[in-house]
Amino acid sequence: MKYKAVCSDIDGTLLNSERDLSDRLKRVISKLPEDFPVILASSRMPKAMNHLLRDLGRENNPLISYNGGLVQNANGETLQSTTIPLGLVEKIFQFVSKTSLHISLYHGDDWYEPKEDYWSKREIINTKAEPIWMSTEEVLKLWSESDTGAHKVMTMGDSQEISWLFGELHLLFSKELHLYRSKQTYIEIAPKSISKATALRLILEKCYDFSMQEVIAFGDNYNDIDLIQAVGMGVAVANARPELKMVANDYTLHHKEDGVALSIEKYLDQII
């Protein structure tokens, strides 16, 4: 089998212990043909991913943002945009308002933060992006006037409050929302209909002439399971969730030990 693209999750998979791209990874990516797609698939927004593509020398590559909520081709043109309707965002906010939890709202490259605190500072450091400082009430009013929804809602804070919120939202909105606890202190909320696998399939249909079976994909967490199952070679890093390891075709080292770089080196003769 000759593989014709790489698709990788970012946090916990591609990035090292410094939350950056290792020199080893950059070197192995530079060995790939210029027209070989390296597709990043993440819950991040585009501007928190574009700098990684630049560092890899792959600026003109497709992007899967918001776990498939926003899909863009190599020219940055939108292939698909799926949002949480405003009315549902407002209901989520009503529940969050009963807690001390932090809430972040996202649409396209706009990231809205109500205040500067531990959680917003942490995300700025992690993503190397800057938010728009605006209260949630103001954002909802702005979106109401422009008929806009959210590509992602993220809540962060005390793990017990997070557990309560997860339970309430799952009970009421599980048919409409995908609720994902990326950490014990985080909930990432997206439309139910999207996934990294469906986004990658769309990119291949619209932009390339090869199949999902000719893709190597890397992941570590629950939101990568469908992607790992859908491609020809799904690889789990050593720190991956047990559920993801169970469906992977292969394993590699921990993300802090350059697992993705090692695996690409392993399959390099099946690429070039």
Residue with tokens 């409050």: 161
Q: How confident is the model at residue 38 (pLDDT cuts 50, 70, 90)?
A: very high
Q: How confident is the model at residue 271 (pLDDT cuts 50, 70, 90)?
A: confident
Element (H, E) at 80: strand 78-81
The reply to whether 77 and 92 lie within a common domain is no
pLDDT of 8 strictly over 90 = yes
As beta bridge partners, residue 72 has 63, 78
pLDDT of 272 strictly over 80 = no
Give the rounded percent of residues in the chain with a pLDDT score beyond 90.
Answer: 96
* Residue 215 phi, psi (nearest 5): -120, 140
Q: How many domains does the chain have?
A: 2
Mean pLDDT of 203-228: 97
The reply to whether 105 and 66 lie within a common domain is no
Please name the amino acid found at residue 87: G
Q: Beta strands 152-156 and 102-107: pairing type?
A: antiparallel
State the residue range of the domain holding 265: 5-81+195-270
Picking from 191, 209, 226, the residue at the C-terminal end of a domain is: 191
Contact between 3 and 267 under an 8 Å Cβ cutoff? The reply is yes
CATH code for the domain of 256: 3.40.50.1000
pTM of the complete model: 0.94
Picking from 139, 164, 191, the residue at the C-terminal end of a domain is: 191
The reply to whether 68 and 200 lie within a common domain is yes
